[in-house]
Chains A and B, each alone.
Chain A
Amino acid sequence: MKPFSSLLPILFFAGMAILPLLAGDYYQGVGFQLLMWIALTQSWVLLSGFTGYISLGHAVFYGLGGYLTVLTWHIVPLPLAIPLSGLVAALFAGLIGYPVMRVRGPYFVILTFGLAELVKYIVINVEAALGKFGRLMMGAPGLSTLYWVMLALAVAATLLVVLVGRSRFGAGLRAIREDEPAAETVGVPTARYKLGAYALSAAIPGMVGGLAALRTSYFEPQQIFSPTISFTVVTMAMIGGSDRARGPLMGALFLVLLSELLWANLAELYMIILGLLLIGFVLFAPSGIDGLLRRRFGR
């Protein structure tokens, strides 16, 4: 089972790579969404899955990345603007990370949430002061170009989770999750590791946000900083199973397919089912789909 299970993500991404050759615009759009959620959820796992510091405000990095791409639109060429968006999001995380990562448990959860909302309202006010109420981005690259870049990001995020998971750094982060004072005692540089995980997990949403802004070719702070994004990421990680690379793949796939089935005509029903699933997984399958499969088929 073991070699097969590590083959799974490779097969999955290979499938996603041939999708644009077979499918039309609609399915490419769905594929883009799926890859976007995978990248976001993997980046969330880097921080929250490994360290147990549950971030409820990952939308802040996504939004900042999107905003930067919009601000530099037609000023900085895109191949530079997208990495720059990731860099700025990571820098922002590095800057606020030291005080933020000292806050623990439930306080951390609501702090990250509040932080995302604060940044959202600051951007809304900045935009209002500039007299901008939404920006259109004319001449953004087509869907297939964006698709390939998003695929690369999703693969990179997945690889990052695999590599960090196997590294000394990853072991340190897991030790922080299990018992932070004990980890500190045995010599894990907890403060530096947490800061590193925070900045690392911010870079990918920054770039994803830039791409998402290009995809909609419209920017509106209320939307791009929406708390729904943070919540969806947490739900996907929970449903998939959260501290290895396969979990987010399954969680994102499951929810994107579900939303495709229901969203178009029954948005409210989709949300209700989402809520029921979340409750069901927390109470009856806390290790997610990944955990269920592992129990069913051995490792």
Chain B
Amino acid sequence: MDLLLSPQLLAAALIAGALYALVALGLNLIYGTMRLLNVAHGELVMVGSYVASWSFSLLGLGPWPALVLSPVAAGLLGYGLYRGLFRRLLANPALSQRIEANSLLLFFGISIILQNLVSLLFTATPRGYQPFGGAVIDLGVASVTGGRLLVLVVAGIVTVAAMLLLRFNTVGLAVKALIQNREAASLAGIDTEKLERWSFIAGFAVAGLAGALVSMVEQVSPFMGFPYMIAAFVIIILGGLGNLTGSLIGGLILGLLETYGVALTSPNYRSILVYGVFIAVLLIRPQGLLGRTRIVR
């Protein structure tokens, strides 16, 4: 029982939850606005991690520049893919009629290309680095490494900022309108094409940022993305597809569930727990545990 009340465990759960919420934010932005199912989302996290790891170990830049370089690199990748592939998919009526299936296949292709390209160029060997020299910071009730504290702070700030933006800023409101009803948003004078392009890029950039953060606490490898993609899908199912506040809550729920679940049982049950919750939620409430807004087709 002591274990469950330990602030150390709570800190671990919050860090995991904040990171998950950030990863899911990008996925949700892209799904919500365009109904594109990005199964390559984990690979974007991976790309962000590699950029961060290089800027740290090859360029010797320290941990801070990665927070800019990784999202910029992932955002540029997003821009290229949008112009090259997804604008065509969205513009072609025959293809966009089955947009979810088609986008899933496209992103699946992108995902295996990215994994294997990185593996071909930089080998499959996992690599890691210690930001802040691995220093441990005492928060009074719990101690965390500098890297983990940075994860908590940055992921928390970005996720909350994104939510505030969506609630109170005109562009944010336009994004919300787009999520709720594309045709109506277009009729209301919103430049949907431009907004979609930017949502796409922003979704990628956020994933890149999450990757930079991941690289500070985990090892980096070409195939590291998969569990993050799964976690992100679990979260947006928990929170409701297209519901950004839901994905923040979903991220925290998953972080808590995973950390406490593993502490209570055994690390072996981690995946069973995650997938079990995921399937239960899908079967009981396919529109998401917190989902209220129906996505208009």
Contacts of A277 in B (CB 8 A): 109
Please give the distance in Å from B229's CB to the nearest CB on chain A.
10
The answer, yes or no, to whether B286 is at the interface (CB within 8 Å) is yes
Task: Determine the distance from Cα of A52 to Cα of B278 in the docked complex, in whole angstroms.
Answer: 23
The interface bits of chain A over 11-43 (1 if a CB of B lies within 8 angstroms of the residue's CB, else 0) are 000000000000000000000000000000000
The interface bits of chain A over 237-260 (1 if a CB of B lies within 8 angstroms of the residue's CB, else 0) are 010000000000000000000000
Interface stretch among A114-122, A144-152, A161-169, A181-189?
Answer: A114-122
B72-115 residues with Cβ-Cβ distance < 8 A to A are 85, 88-89, 94-95, 98, 100-102, 104-106, 108-113, 115
Do B37 and A109 touch (CB < 8 A)? yes
The answer, yes or no, to whether A143 is at the interface (CB within 8 Å) is no
The answer, yes or no, to whether A54 is at the interface (CB within 8 Å) is yes
Contacts of A235 in B (CB 8 A): 105, 108
Do B104 and A125 touch (CB < 8 A)? no
Contacts of A269 in B (CB 8 A): 116, 120
The answer, yes or no, to whether A276 is at the interface (CB within 8 Å) is yes
Do B275 and A103 touch (CB < 8 A)? no
Task: Determine the distance from Cα of A92 to Cα of B279 in the docked complex, in whole angstroms.
Answer: 16
The answer, yes or no, to whether B152 is at the interface (CB within 8 Å) is no
Contacts of B278 in A (CB 8 A): 114, 118
The answer, yes or no, to whether B149 is at the interface (CB within 8 Å) is no
Given contacts A105-B100, A110-B237, A114-B279, contact A121 B105 (CB under 8 A): no
Contacts of B289 in A (CB 8 A): none
The answer, yes or no, to whether B219 is at the interface (CB within 8 Å) is no
Q: Which of A54, A99, A100 contacts B104 (CB 8 A)?
A: A54
Do A109 and B113 touch (CB < 8 A)? no
Task: Determine the distance from Cα of A92 to Cα of B110 in the docked complex, in whole angstroms.
Answer: 33
The answer, yes or no, to whether B272 is at the interface (CB within 8 Å) is yes
Given contacts A117-B271, A286-B95, contact A103 B283 (CB under 8 A): yes
Please give the distance in Å from B189's CB to the nearest CB on chain A.
29
Q: Which of A102, A121, A124, A278 contacts B108 (CB 8 A)?
A: A278
Task: Determine the distance from Cα of A269 to Cα of B113 in the docked complex, in whole angstroms.
Answer: 9
Contacts of A103 in B (CB 8 A): 282-283, 286
The interface bits of chain A over 266-291 (1 if a CB of B lies within 8 angstroms of the residue's CB, else 0) are 01110110111111001100100000
Do B279 and A282 touch (CB < 8 A)? no
Contacts of B85 in A (CB 8 A): 279, 283
The interface bits of chain A over 96-115 (1 if a CB of B lies within 8 angstroms of the residue's CB, else 0) are 00011011111101110011
Given contacts A272-B117, A274-B112, contact A107 B237 (CB under 8 A): yes
The answer, yes or no, to whether A8 is at the interface (CB within 8 Å) is no
Contacts of A128 in B (CB 8 A): 268
Q: Which of A102, A114, A234, A283 contacts B275 (CB 8 A)?
A: A114
Do B113 and A272 touch (CB < 8 A)? yes
Do A271 and B116 touch (CB < 8 A)? yes
**Which residue on chain B has the smallest CB distance to residue A128?**
B268
Task: Determine the distance from Cα of A282 to Cα of B37 in the docked complex, in whole angstroms.
Answer: 14
Contacts of A282 in B (CB 8 A): 89, 95, 102, 105-106, 109
Task: Determine the distance from Cα of A212 to Cα of B279 in the docked complex, in whole angstroms.
Answer: 28
Do B283 and A121 touch (CB < 8 A)? no
Q: Which of B89, B94, B275 contacts A121 (CB 8 A)?
A: B275
The answer, yes or no, to whether A231 is at the interface (CB within 8 Å) is yes
A37-79 residues with Cβ-Cβ distance < 8 A to B are 52, 54, 56
Please give the distance in Å from B257's CB to the nearest CB on chain A.
15
The answer, yes or no, to whether B276 is at the interface (CB within 8 Å) is yes
Do B112 and A107 touch (CB < 8 A)? no
Please give the distance in Å from A19's CB to the nearest CB on chain B.
30
Q: List 12 A-B contacts (CB under 8 A).
A: A106-B35, A109-B100, A110-B37, A117-B271, A117-B275, A118-B275, A122-B272, A269-B120, A275-B113, A278-B108, A279-B85, A283-B106
Chain A residues proximal to chain B, CB less than 8 Å: 52, 54, 56, 99-100, 102-107, 109-111, 114-115, 117-118, 121-122, 124-125, 128, 231, 234-235, 238, 267-269, 271-272, 274-279, 282-283, 286
Chain B residues proximal to chain A, CB less than 8 Å: 31, 35, 37, 85, 88-89, 94-95, 98, 100-102, 104-106, 108-113, 115-117, 119-120, 230, 233-234, 237, 241, 268-269, 271-272, 275-276, 278-279, 282-283, 286
- List the 10 closest A-B pairs by CB distance, nearest first: A275-B113, A278-B109, A118-B275, A275-B109, A271-B116, A121-B271, A279-B109, A268-B120, A268-B116, A106-B100
